Amino acid sequence: MAPIDIVVLAVIGIAFVAVCVRIYRKGTCADCAQGGVCMGHCSNKKTCAALKGVDKIAEDLGRGIK
Amino acid sequence: MADSQIHVALAGNPNCGKTTLFNLITGANGYVGNWPGVTVEKKEAKLLSDKNVTITDLPGIYSLSPYSPEEQCSRDYLMSGEPDVVVQVVDATNLERNLYLALQVIETGLPVVVALNMADLVEKNGDKIDTDKLSKKLGCPVMMISALKNKGITELFEQVKKSAASKGQVPEHKFDSSIEDVLTHIENNLPASVPANKRRYYAVKLFERDADACKLINLTKEKAARVEELVAQCEQDCDDDAESIITGERYGVIAHIIDECLTKAPTKMSTSEKIDRVVTNRILGLPIFVVIMFCVYYIAVSTLGGTVTDFTNDQLFGTDGWYVLGQGRDAYDAAVEAAGDNADSVDPAQYGPYVPGITTVVHDALVAGGTEDGGLVDSLVCDGIVGGLGAIFGFVPQMFLLFVMLSFLEDCGYMARVAFIMDRVFRRFGLSGKSFIPMLVSSGCGVPGVMATKTIENEKDRRMTVMTTTFIPCGAKLPIIALLMGSIIGDSSTTAAWISPLFYFLGVFAVIASGLMLKKTKLFAGRPTPFVMELPAYHFPAIRSWALHVWERCWAFIKKAGTVIFASTVVVWFLSNFGSYNGAFGFLPAMEGIPEEFMDYSVLAMLGNLVAWIFAPLGFSTWQATALTVSGLVAKENVVATAGSLLSVADAGETDPSLWTAFAGMFPTMGACVAFGAFNLLCAPCFAAIGTIRNQMDSGKWTAIAIGYECAFAWVIGLFINQFYNLLVLGQFGIWTVVAIVLLVAMLFQIFRPMPKHAWTDEDETNTASAAVSA
């Protein structure tokens, strides 16, 4: 494996982790601003309806699982 | 006051221009729609010219009576004590209706500045408003402004700052003396703790028997009984209920104010009214809507948008590359033809100013840097990431055109008419035009579309709208439509141009058919909600607002491509390039003796094959098609991005199939290809929209019903398309053809059978009726 391969893989790996963290914090949707629901810059689990719903789905599915 | 924080609330009727004003003064890009109900929750931002001023944009409401979630939200905020001053935005072209809320807000005792918006239209209509007299009558400052044309805004906020320093006012307007007497008596019964400027508001609310106000004031038993006695006596005297008495009085005050302050120009039919005579015509309205939407999708996908997308897909992101201004293209094509089998040896750079495609540039740079040609890193970057993202970015031009046209239709006021036209259609199955508003929003994104259902008071109507609103193709589904159209029609773009609009109308059909079927079940029976909406005057959209609208939607698409889709393409690449062959697990292309179709041994193929059987009756039981469908649950654009990665389009040479043909090659027949499209457009939306559905339904059971129904409906429609194509075009008949016929008959029966009596009766009415019968 050439040095450039390691660099490219590292960059992709970092970008991938950054995206995963963003999805965890802000969800997969970037379009809420269209509905006047939020300004698109500050969505988080407290204000984003989509994320609140996703959390509830996770709770529903996880109920009874120990 | 200058150094302290000022909280300003923007209140007003729906569609009076609050959000346009909010965007203008805060620099925010909040969604502005030219129909009521766009803002469903309050939004906050700082004033651009003074960061000490916080502006809160409240949902548009007609009154402060807490009958709908928006009214409750606005009233709670106004009475929370947070706003220092309220800017009451009034549509000056419709003073009579807008002043009703203005009077109520003034009654709250908060400092109010009335902003008469759309001053330019008042002038254009030849009407005259005496603002000084109006200010005197209302007991608060009145300013003429035009948020669209940015006129009078500075003066408005100078006045707002002055008013914020005041402690509020006691309303000037008075009702009939008999009502005033009762209100004075009620005021005298209020506890001393209620401030002077709020006593009138609470007196009126107690008169109206407002439950929230009664709870808040908490009168002693004796005083409450005294108030009730006064109100009951007044009701008896006026022969009306308390709330209607106050409503009548307010309209009386408004009529008096209008008489004195407004001079109307002689009435003549406006341009909007002339257009509406045709556009909202009982017979022509619907066909005009169909033709307009056909043209929108045809232009966006098939003509100009298609040409630019072809360039982006094949030449910019593909391996073709391009010649600047086309110079040298003909000579190069002739050289390639002359070279025959040796076409690969022809160097395109020799024939003109040639720019290689992004994939070629990236591939050459990696190989020059020491990466193995066709190795793991080369494959991950070129096939996985550039191939996947390139497939998505290729559709940005089509999406841009679509949004330019849709935003124009929304901003100019036509889409509000569509809600009015659709009200007639929807009413047949118990929904109202109010349910069409979320569907309009859904043409951008399903998440705000589902959220917009908040404005529907009737729970059953709201549930049914939530279940059906994501059938309307959102922006993310446009690439799927474009990909399908390209695959189905190939090069003959003129012969099957109807394909892309057809997929839009498939969504509309799904909404209507579902409505007709579901309304006849007990789960959704009930009287339709009355739908009243103001039709805004047609106007050419403000360029800033129009551009922002398009930018917001395109930027959201690009942002998603750079985040969620990027992560998905990396995952899909790993799953499709790693697997086990001959008992060994690893990077498949590097394995010795592996066949050319190495992906058939990948982890993704294994996972896809586990569920592929579900889609066998729909004609696409390959693991690739299944993987595309499942990846679409993360974000619908993923269907195309995954196709780009799996089909290795980025790696395709000039003689290899393009994205269109490679995609079409995944399906045995055209029927299967269309069935795939129909299923993916109608089935469960992306995770974000599913989360929003869960939140709006506030019930796990109802979320499961909604998602289950959407998937089942999509599967059945896909089954119809594939099986009837096989039967009618290919002459094939099998057990699934029988199933399709049975399901079609059942569906037609449910759609066309007469509406049962219970379908138009609310549950409480049924209970009352049964109670009466048993008595």
Look at B688 and A8 and tell me if their CB atoms are within 8 Å.
Answer: no
> Between the CA atoms of B422, B424, B428 and B433, what dihedral angle is there, to the nearest 10 degrees?
50
Is the ipTM here above 0.90? no
Write down the number of H helices and E strands in chain A.
2, 0
Q: Which residue has the higher pLDDT, B38 or B519?
A: B519
A45 close to B (CB below 8 A): no
Tokens of B404: 């330019």
φ and ψ at residue B87, rounded to 5 degrees: -95, 110
Tokens of B327: 């110079």
Identity of the highest mean pLDDT range in B434-438, B660-664, B709-713: B709-713
Q: Sorting pLDDT into bands at 50, 70 and 90, what band is B39?
A: low
Q: Which residue has the higher pLDDT, A6 or B309?
A: A6
Q: Sorting pLDDT into bands at 50, 70 and 90, what band is B770?
A: very low
CB-closest option in B43, B377, B563 to A5: B377
B363 close to A (CB below 8 A): no
B127 close to A (CB below 8 A): no
Task: Please report the pLDDT score of residue A37 as a whole number.
Answer: 42
Residue B719 has pLDDT above 90, yes or no: yes
Beta bridge partner(s), residue B129: B262
Residue B664 has pLDDT above 70, yes or no: yes
**Using a CB-CB distance cutoff of 8 angstroms, which residues of chain B are in contact with residue A31?**
444-445, 447-448, 475, 553, 556, 560, 688
Residue B724 has pLDDT above 90, yes or no: yes
Task: Please report the pLDDT score of residue B29 as a whole number.
Answer: 57
Beta bridge partner(s), residue B45: B55
Report d(CA B454, CA A49) in Å as an integer.
Answer: 12
Residue B346 has pLDDT above 80, yes or no: no
Tokens of B748: 């037609």
Instruction: Please give the radius of gyration of chain A, using alpha carbons only, rounded to the nearest integer.
Output: 17
B636 close to A (CB below 8 A): no
SS3 letters for B154-181?
A: HHHHHHHHHHHHCCCCCCCCCCCHHHHH
Residue B35 has pLDDT above 60, yes or no: no
Report d(CA B700, CA B692) in Å as an integer.
Answer: 12
Task: Please report the pLDDT score of residue B412 as a whole number.
Answer: 85
Task: Please report the pLDDT score of residue B771 as a whole number.
Answer: 46
Q: Which amino acid is at B705?
A: I
A41 close to B (CB below 8 A): no
Q: What pTM was estimated for this model as a whole?
A: 0.71
Asked whether the beta carbons of B520 and B420 are under 8 A apart, the reply is no
Nearest chain B residue to A63 by CA distance is: B700
